[in-house]
């Protein structure tokens, strides 16, 4: 039996890898060990619990005020110890976090083959998103098998010179996850908003926005809500202290903005599905809203999820205050044709069977 070690450390990794873990557990000729680095402990664990996935090893690397360099070094060191003890046949990582990068590097050093889920996403701007673009490009250099969510991602990898037989188009496992979570409950979380209010969901946490750009994004949210009496906003706050400080400064005292702790994934997906409009700088949320058909303004100047733009559901509005207010205002106009055109679900990111494809491929590749 071949043994696969799946490493995860953050909320999006748990979300996108747990469906793969569950699928692997159904197969007789693969044994799976889950290694949690604990990079973002709370958000990681609550997401794993939803899928009833428990770690076989827990590296507990998170420290208060941790630097990217520090956390990367700790993961590299500790994953290496697990690899020495467990000697898996393959290490599977996902996406572009420090956990994914350092684990792929540790496996590379030990000569253990690496599989990369969500491979080939690119902005080709090394510092945007930062440090994720570097991580994903670096992981592609180290990986032996690339599981690309879309044709664009697959084409990127082949253009970069990866052997065609190592790149596989699978779809994104986020759609598998979304199907799982939406089956858990039908109830949309309420925050005491008046019936008929249009819910605007707002998330911002990218490191490259910290400082004045982030302040401008929150100011834009406040201006939008103050200008539209039937709009209420929900703003789940990322755990980073810089995000919390800025939100508290700018959003204080605005009645129709609910600043909330990040809802766990089942409530969050219900909230997304019940939203009128989403404003975000997140990566994964772009895929989820495209699958659900919820119009989304991406508060960035570039995205690695351009399929969602072509599908019509996503639009880039930049991270400047004025641009966000303008773009949102147009979509909130009564009977906006622009809005109606964006409100269409699309399967560009997957059909909900990506995990089955990835595990089928692994069974074959590890034979
Ligand atoms: N998410 C969540 N609760 C929140 C905000 C996000 O469960 O309050 C989920 C969301 O559904 C998405 C994932 O977390 O799948 C994205 O995480 P994040 O935006 O932190 O990371 P990114 O995708 O930008 O790397």
Residue 316, classed as helix, strand or coil, is strand
User: Quick one: what percent of the chain has pLDDT higher than 70?
Assistant: 99
Residues 6+ apart with CB under 8 A from 163: none
Computed over every residue of the chain, the mean pLDDT equals: 95
198-342: CATH superfamily: Glycogen Phosphorylase B; (3.40.50.2000)
Half-sphere exposure at residue 28, Cβ-oriented, CA atoms within 13 angstroms? 0
State the distance from the centre of ligand 1 to the C-alpha of 283, rounded, in angstroms.
8
Pocket of ligand 1 (CB under 6 A): 11-12, 15, 203, 205, 236, 262-263, 265, 268, 282-285, 288
Phi, psi values for residue 327, rounded to 5°: -65, -40
User: Residue 4 belongs to what H/E stretch?
Assistant: strand 2-8
- Tens of pLDDT along 294-315? 999 999 999 999 999 999 999 9
Q: In this structure, are residues 234 and 221 in contact, taking their beta carbons and an 8 Å threshold?
A: no
- Ligand 1 pocket, mutate which of 51, 234, 268 (most atoms under 8 A from CB): 268
Q: Which CATH architecture has domain 2-171+352-365?
A: 3-Layer(aba) Sandwich (3.40)
- Check whether 320 has a pLDDT greater than 90: yes
Residue 22, classed as helix, strand or coil, is helix
Domain with CATH 3.40.50.2000 in the chain: 2-171+352-365, 198-342
- Tens of pLDDT along 324-334? 999 999 999 99
Q: Which of 361, 354, 356 lies closest to 90 in space, CA to CA?
A: 361
Index of the ligand 1 atom closest to the CA of residue 282 = 24
Nearest CA to ligand 1 atom 9: 265
Nearest CA to ligand 1 atom 7: 265
- Ligand 1 pocket, mutate which of 8, 9, 10, 12 (most atoms under 8 A from CB): 12
Rg (CA), the chain: 20
- Ligand 1 pocket, mutate which of 8, 10, 11, 16 (most atoms under 8 A from CB): 11
- Tens of pLDDT along 242-270? 999 999 999 999 989 999 999 999 999 99
Q: In this structure, are residues 303 and 123 in contact, taking their beta carbons and an 8 Å threshold?
A: yes
Question: Global pTM?
Answer: 0.92
- CA–CA separation, 28 and 59 (whole Å): 27
Q: Where are the alpha helices (DSSP H) in 191-316?
A: 212-227, 241-251, 265-273, 284-292, 306-311
State the distance from the centre of ligand 1 to the C-alpha of 204, rounded, in angstroms.
10
Q: Say what angle helices 173-182 and 265-273 make with each other, to 10 degrees.
A: 90
* Count of Cβ atoms closer than 10 Å to residue 312 Cβ: 16
The 3 state secondary structure assigned to 110-136 is: HCCCEEEECCCCCCCCCCCCCCHHHHH
Q: Does the N-terminal peptide bond of residue 273 adopt cis geometry, omega within 30 degrees of 0?
A: no
* Count of Cβ atoms closer than 10 Å to residue 81 Cβ: 12
Nearest CA to ligand 1 atom 13: 12
Neighbour-count burial of 63, counting CB atoms closer than 10 A to its CB (0-12 exposed, 13-18 middle, 19+ buried) = exposed
* Count of Cβ atoms closer than 10 Å to residue 355 Cβ: 27
- Tens of pLDDT along 154-211? 999 999 999 999 999 999 999 999 999 999 977 777 677 788 899 999 999 988 889 9
Index of the ligand 1 atom closest to the CA of residue 132 = 25
State the distance from the centre of ligand 1 to the C-alpha of 178, rounded, in angstroms.
12
CB burial of 254-283 (b: ≥16 within 10 Å; e: otherwise) equals bebbbbeebbbbbbbbbbbbbbbbbbbbbb
- Check whether 112 has a pLDDT greater than 80: yes
Q: What is the pLDDT of residue 300?
A: 93
- Tens of pLDDT along 11-62? 999 999 999 999 999 999 999 999 999 998 888 999 999 999 999 999 988 8
Nearest CA to ligand 1 atom 8: 262
User: Quick one: what percent of the chain has pLDDT higher than 90?
Assistant: 88
């Amino acid at each position: 039996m071949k043994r696969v070690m799946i490493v995860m450390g953050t909320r999006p990794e748990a979300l996108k890898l747990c469906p793969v873990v569950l699928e692997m557990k159904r197969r007789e000729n693969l044994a799976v060990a889950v290694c949690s680095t604990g990079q973002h402990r709370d958000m990681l664990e609550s997401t794993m619990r939803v899928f009833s996935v428990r770690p076989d090893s827990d590296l507990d690397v998170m420290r208060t005020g941790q630097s990217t360099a520090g956390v990367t070094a700790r993961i590299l060191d500790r994953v290496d110890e697990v690899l020495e003890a467990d000697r898996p046949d393959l290490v599977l990582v996902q996406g572009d976090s420090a956990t994914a990068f350092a684990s792929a590097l540790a496996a590379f050093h030990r000569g253990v083959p690496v599989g990369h889920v969500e491979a080939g996403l690119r902005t080709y701007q090394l510092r945007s998103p930062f440090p994720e673009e570097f991580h994903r490009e670096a992981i592609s250099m180290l990986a032996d098998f690339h599981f690309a969510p879309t044709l664009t991602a697959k084409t990127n990898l082949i253009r970069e010179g990866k052997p065609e037989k190592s790149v596989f188009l699978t779809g994104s496992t986020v759609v598998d996850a979304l199907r799982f979570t939406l089956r858990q409950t039908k109830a949309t979380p309420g925050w005491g908003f008046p019936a008929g209010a249009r819910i605007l969901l707002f998330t911002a946490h990218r490191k490259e926005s910290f400082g004045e750009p982030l302040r401008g994004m929150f100011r834009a949210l406040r201006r939008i809500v103050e200008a539209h009496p039937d709009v209420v906003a929900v703003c789940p706050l990322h755990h980073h202290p810089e995000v919390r400080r800025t939100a508290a400064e700018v959003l204080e005292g605005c009645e129709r903005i609910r600043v909330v702790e990040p809802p766990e994934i089942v409530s969050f997906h219900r909230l997304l599905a019940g939203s009128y409009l989403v404003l975000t700088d997140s990566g994964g949320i772009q895929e989820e809203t495209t699958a659900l058909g919820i119009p989304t303004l991406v508060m960035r100047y570039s995205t690695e999820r351009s399929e969602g733009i072509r599908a019509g559901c996503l639009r880039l509005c930049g991270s400047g205050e004025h641009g966000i207010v303008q773009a949102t205002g147009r979509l909130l106009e009564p009977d906006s044709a622009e809005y109606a055109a964006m409100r269409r679900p699309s399967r560009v990111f997957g059909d909900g069977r990506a995990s089955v494809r990835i595990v089928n491929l692994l069974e074959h590749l590890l034979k």
